[in-house]
Structure 1
């Protein structure tokens, strides 16, 4: 028997919650940096508090969303094919590592149900994030050579803001569009979202992933 809970688009809800993890993690990183140098008293504690509360809230929300989505899929054996996600195991995984559990779940879900696509211009945001990162690298290099602390901080802040706020969303959304409306290339949006998350902790990975993605996209279909 279907209930109003089963009518909710839990997959979309999972996506939106995952989009919020990078900014929340970014706030925590800023707190660490503030702790390493003198600044406004109590600022680092406030940032840590906001980050911890936000991460906990998102984890619980993701846990609930994955549980109900997996439960609904298990109740539709013909629609889900050979994939029968265990709601309790997936929820437990989310409790241990919410971002990882979320991207793995979306990647596996995409293989069976696909991902709803939207705007066709998300590649522009991916391109802007790549250009911003490259500019940040050049500016940071110049700042280090010429010993300009202000320029170094500005370059890191600009590149970090784009990377944490826009890049994961843009590449996930565009991969969904390409997979749905493209010809031969079928990028998995969940996989690219996971790689984008990884690039937040391995910064050199971001321009490599963005560059590869845009090159492959251009080769497979027009940038439109």
Structure 2
């Protein structure tokens, strides 16, 4: 059992668990909003239960992953000797405020070990989320002016779904790529993941963060 746990890339597991929080929280919030507006029986309550149960499972899984990874880091020498994360403290932090605990740990972990880059074109997804948010906002304004509630709801829902589902993953993964292969700019993927989470909580920030990131990326590496 211990050997099988040692084969798991717990840093990558923590990343993946953090990526799942925005969609799960979003499902729960949709359920709360819909519950205030009578519609399909039990659908709203079901969404709330899915969001709540999913968040609880993710919290427990993240607490376990942080505990195991922090314990492994403490036992390693070399580059990890200057960082000794407390397994119990990190796990407790995750139980209290899981998304923040995850991004905080990833940011500190990146400073010691870096973050493995993946696909080279994640910036395209960041650009798509920016475009969908801007277009969605413009369509929502038109729908509001013309009193088209169906179009208004669809525009906000589509833009929100794209941003919540893709933006945090895309900006984290692209920051890992730029940090690994760039020269002039080394963005911390964990920090940008946290900023992405914050921008989803304050919707007007999402296009600002995405636009700034793409502009900074262009200045550093010439793309886009």
Q: Give the TM-score normalised by structure 1.
A: 0.97
Given that residues 118 and 177 in structure 1 are in contact (C-alpha distance below 8 angstroms), is that contact kept between their aligned partners in structure 2?
yes
Q: CA RMSD in A?
A: 1.1
* Count of residue pairs brought into register by the alignment: 223
Separation (CA, whole Å) in 1 of partners of 2:163 and 2:36: 22
Gap runs ≥5 in structure 1:
none
Deviation of residue 7 (structure 1)? Answer: 2.4
Separation (CA, whole Å) in 2 of partners of 1:85 and 1:197: 23
Counterpart of 2:181? 181
Matched, 1:100 2:100: yes
Deviation of residue 81 (structure 1)? Answer: 3.1
Deviation of residue 77 (structure 1)? Answer: 3.2
Counterpart of 2:81? 81
Given that residues 74 and 81 in structure 2 are in contact (C-alpha distance below 8 angstroms), is that contact kept between their aligned partners in structure 1?
no
Deviation of residue 143 (structure 1)? Answer: 1.0
Separation (CA, whole Å) in 2 of partners of 1:7 and 1:149: 52
Given that residues 77 and 84 in structure 1 are in contact (C-alpha distance below 8 angstroms), is that contact kept between their aligned partners in structure 2?
no
Counterpart of 1:143? 143
Counterpart of 1:195? 195
Deviation of residue 199 (structure 1)? Answer: 1.2
Counterpart of 1:64? 64
Q: Give the TM-score normalised by structure 2.
A: 0.97
The Cα offsets for residues 125-153 of structure 1, whole Å up to 9 and x where unpaired, read as: 00000000000110111111111101100
The Cα offsets for residues 140-170 of structure 1, whole Å up to 9 and x where unpaired, read as: 1111111110110011111111111000000
Per mean C-alpha deviation after superposition, the further-off stretch among 171-180 and 33-42 is 33-42
Alignment of 1:16-55 (within 5 A): 16-55=16-55
Given that residues 6 and 68 in structure 1 are in contact (C-alpha distance below 8 angstroms), is that contact kept between their aligned partners in structure 2?
no
Given that residues 28 and 47 in structure 2 are in contact (C-alpha distance below 8 angstroms), is that contact kept between their aligned partners in structure 1?
yes
Counterpart of 2:154? 154
Gap runs ≥5 in structure 2:
none
The Cα offsets for residues 56-112 of structure 1, whole Å up to 9 and x where unpaired, read as: 110011001110000000001323031100000000000001100000000000001
Deviation of residue 183 (structure 1)? Answer: 1.1
Counterpart of 2:112? 112
Separation (CA, whole Å) in 2 of partners of 1:27 and 1:130: 21
Counterpart of 1:14? 14
Separation (CA, whole Å) in 2 of partners of 1:104 and 1:221: 26
Separation (CA, whole Å) in 2 of partners of 1:128 and 1:36: 32
